[in-house]
Amino acid sequence: MRALRRYAATLRSLPEIDAAASGHGLLSADTEAGVVRRVPLVALIGETPVLPLSLETLRVATGVQAFAVRGGAAGVEAVGVGVSVPTQADGRLWVHYTPHDPSRFISAADVLEGKADPAELERKLVLVGVTALGLIDYQSTPLGERMPGIEIHAQVLENVFDNALLMRPRWAPWIEAFALLIAGLIVVYTVPRLSPARSTGLLVLLLVALGAAGFTAYRGAELLLDASVPGVATAFLFAAMLVETLSDANAQRKSLQERLQHEREAAARIAGELDAARRIQVGILPRPELVFPSERRFEIAASMEPAREVGGDLYDFFMLDDERLFFLVGDVSGKGLPASIFMAVSKALCKSAALRRGQPINELLGEANLEIARENPESLFVTVFAAVLDTRTGRLEYCNAGHEPPFILTPEGEIARLAEGGGPPLCVIDGFAYVAAEHSIALHGIVCVVSDGVTEALNRAGELYGVERLKRALQRNGNGKGPAAIVDAIRADVSQFADNAEVADDLTLLVLRWNGPSGR
């Protein structure tokens, strides 16, 4: 009984009317946000339980002398007035409203004047009330209508007679909590994994599903399940998850931008370092116009184009004495920065071995082989063609350590290759005894030494440039042209053949022409 609505006092009818009445019903009903949603089926006035007008009318009509209130552990369960009417725990009933129906109403004036059809009142429970619009007894209903209070009591009686009672079961909060849990788990799992547009669409589907479930329970089983609470809670959870997800995505984007900026800066530093390494590498390769500014006994030109920022090919030339020219072309195994470092080491050690003492070219390569092998932690190797030209006689002493055999072009346009002598690349076999060879260059004869990046250059179809194309390029450009023009022509021919295909290897050329002991 403690759960019942309690009133300290009542306003009663006139004493004469009150004394003549067969029963006394409660008219009051509390509003919820200005709307009458529930009415008490039993309430307390002081300590006395009373019925509302609707049930009191039913009690009097059925001749029941008393009413019963059945309670349980949770509160009131039902009110008995000849029939048992289930209630909520606080003794109230959710009114199952139907729209306002003017056919329910009969004018009291028509009844008093005998104008009303008696059949309309026969075997009916009649509630008498005032319904003028100017009176204050008009209440708002969940249907959005304003009804006179007497009609609300009439609808309660219809609910009882039609057994159309709306009930909110005691387990309803658990169902709503379970629905919120499922919807919340779906939101938590999917929002971080979907785009904002798709996650918003999913939220709409969840809200529609919750609303449809509540409406189905209302229309199908006359149960009141509140879809608004889990729906609103799900929407708030979605908003929080979306904000968190967008914030996290924004933080990740900023982190990625910072990382990308760091990577760009690192790449720029590396590019700068590689550019510096390229300049250093190109700088250590000799330039004929600087090394031999006024030389007439021979002409020499060389070029090295790395496949990457830096390369592993090398060339060098310098005078051993007033009459002898030393030159070499080499190709380090591998590409990139490691090969470029090994190239610099190999070039320096070969030059050191050549300048320390005058020795045959094969012994020079044998000594360089030993020294380079000691400074080779990555087990690289290098092919080398090295030669010494006697500028007085045109005698060429050479040794080929696994390199592409050079080409000899005579003034008459005949081409031969220097295939004699030599041995394996440096750093392949320790202590190998290299074999030297000799060749006499004709006056104005040309020696062309290339790396395999020339003959093995590929075009877009995967074809090799090859030795024959190189020979034809030499023959086309050898007569009357100097070494620099020949180098440029071969480079242009290789570039035209490759047609912008990816470069696979460094491209190095050295061209030497002997002009005789006294020059041109």
**In this structure, what is the dihedral angle of CA atoms 147, 151, 157, 162, given to the nearest 10 degrees?**
-70
336 confidence band (pLDDT: 50, 70, 90): confident
Distance CA 212, CA 179 (A): 12
Please choose, from the candidates 165, 178, 174, 177, the residue with its C-alpha nearest in 3D space to the C-alpha of residue 77.
165
DSSP string, 100-119: --GGG---HHHHHTT-S-GG
- pLDDT > 70? residue 218: yes
CA torsion, ordered 385, 391, 395, 397, to nearest 10 deg: -30
Name the percent of the chain lying above pLDDT 90.
17
% the chain with pLDDT above 70: 96
Structural contact between residues 59 and 25, judged by C-beta atoms closer than 8 angstroms: no
- Say what the pLDDT of residue 120 is: 77
- 4-23 pLDDT, tens digit each: 878 877 778 778 787 777 77
- The pTM is what? 0.55
CA angle 383, 353, 307 (to 5 degrees): 35
Mean pLDDT value of segment 116-125:
79
Give the orientation angle of helix 53-62 with respect to helix 149-161, to 10 degrees: 50
What's the pLDDT score for residue 427? 86
Q: Where are the domains of the chain?
A: 6-161, 172-255, 294-514
- Render pLDDT for 409-422 as a digit per residue (tens, 0 to 9): 998 888 999 989 88
Q: pLDDT, tens digit, for every residue of 72-115? A: 777 888 888 878 888 888 778 888 888 888 877 888 877 888 88
Identity of the residue numbered 275: D
Rounded Cα gap, residues 467 and 465, in angstroms: 7
Mean pLDDT (whole number) for 115-123? 79
Secondary structure of residue 149 in the 3-state scheme: helix
Q: In terms of pLDDT, which residue wins out, 120 or 448?
A: 448
What confidence score (pLDDT) does residue 406 get?
A: 94
pLDDT averaged over the chain? 84
- List C-alpha distances in Å: 102 to 96, 125, 148: 18, 17, 12
pLDDT digit string, tens, across residues 268-313? 887 776 677 677 777 788 888 888 988 899 999 999 888 776 677 8
> Please, is 346 exposed, middle or buried when counting C-beta atoms within 10 Å of its C-beta (0-12, 13-18, 19+)?
buried
d(CA 398, CA 84): 123
Plot region of 363 (φ>0 → left; ψ -120 to 50 → alpha; else → beta): alpha
The tokens for 27 are 């008219």
- Tell me the pLDDT band of 357, cut-offs 50, 70 and 90: low
Full strand arrangement of the beta sheet holding 43-45: 6-7, 43-45, 48-50
C-alpha neighbours within 13 Å on the C-beta side of residue 176: 20
The CATH number fitting domain 294-514, selected from 2.30.110.10, 3.60.40.10, 3.30.70.2740, 3.30.70.250: 3.60.40.10
